[in-house]
Copies of this chain bind each other. A is one copy, B any other.
């Protein structure tokens, strides 16, 4: 069956084309009986507005671009959660997500420009934000709408709107939870200093420990990369120290699982002998045994804020809070 057009619906309902258009976009303008008649015809002919014609006329495509990241060495285990949430949020406003690939950083900007100039998308959601991300200024200068998932760190004035999750608050939650389950020496597994994300989460651990009067000296370990082996190595290092910790807050689920593995290897029981927490609530946290206590990013909230910020063109900043998902790895000690 070929799709019906406005014209055909109009002919069937014996009104003008514009009236049918109004029935869809401004029903209050129609007399109730006309509206009913038109709607009946719409229903009967199974009419669906042609999005291309609409976009051509209104010059708004209701499509949001998202560059699908390809990390050579970093794993992104929660990308499916993020995309699902982003899609759902977009659909709640009648929009959709258009995926594309582009070189990382500022080299990719011509691709963004092209997509926007050719009217494939109205704007962009950026992720994988880096310190002083050059993409922000570029897009702003070209007047291309965008919103960033992730703060542009260390900048007092942001060139654009952003949404982010408070990593420090996340660490604070983890530390307090470990404290409440009886731990008093809480270590932190981190990454190299180059990552703004890592510093944020590390700061939260440090300040919360200070507030609770807990020691931090010698309890922060930097892992070289995000692997099980590095998490295990760092944990081994901590456990072999004169004063081993009784709790570990890890910067990622992967490091945390590495920690769990090291505990198991030493015949220590995670949760009982030592509390361990991860970050991001990746699928791994659930399939691990014991389940990994971790900090869940509020994906739906993030996505909703991203979409509304982008579509209302507001220059807002949203700092959201992660929530603690408690599983076996922090069973009361």
Q: Which residues of A contact B (CB under 8 A)?
A: 3, 46, 48-53, 55-56, 59, 61, 63, 68-70, 75-77, 79-80, 83-84, 87-88, 91, 96-101, 114, 117-120, 226-229, 232, 254, 258, 261, 264-265, 283-284, 286-289
Contacts and interface: CB of A to CB of B under 8 A. Distances in A.
Nearest to A229: B289
A91 B100 contact: yes
A55 to B, nearest CB: 4
A287 B101 contact: no
B101 A99 contact: no
A90 to B, nearest CB: 8
Contacts of A264: 261, 264-265
A63 B228 CA distance: 39
Contacts of A118: 48-51
A79 B69 CA distance: 12
A68 B97 CA distance: 10
Contact of A76 (B55, B61, B80, B228): B80
B98 A84 contact: no
A118 B84 CA distance: 22
Counting chain B CB atoms within 10 Å of each CB, which of A48, A53, A101 scores highest?
A: A101
Contact of A68 (B56, B84, B98): B84
A50 B288 CA distance: 50
Contacts of A76: 80, 283
B120 A77 contact: no
Contacts of A119: 3, 50-52
Nearest to A70: B84
Nearest to A58: B52
A51 B50 CA distance: 14
Nearest to A78: B80
A1 to B, nearest CB: 8
A5 B51 CA distance: 20
Given A55-B52, A68-B80, A80-B79, A3 B117 contact: yes
A123 to B, nearest CB: 15
B114 A48 contact: yes
A97 B284 CA distance: 28
User: Top 6 nearest A-B pairs by Cβ distance?
Assistant: A229-B289, A75-B283, A48-B117, A227-B287, A52-B55, A97-B99
Nearest to A71: B80
A226 B284 CA distance: 11
A48 B286 CA distance: 48
A63 B258 CA distance: 42
B261 A75 contact: no
Contacts of A229: 287-289
A101 B84 contact: yes
A91 B101 contact: yes
Nearest to A233: B289
B289 A227 contact: yes
Counting chain B CB atoms within 10 Å of each CB, which of A46, A69, A84, A226 scores highest?
A: A84
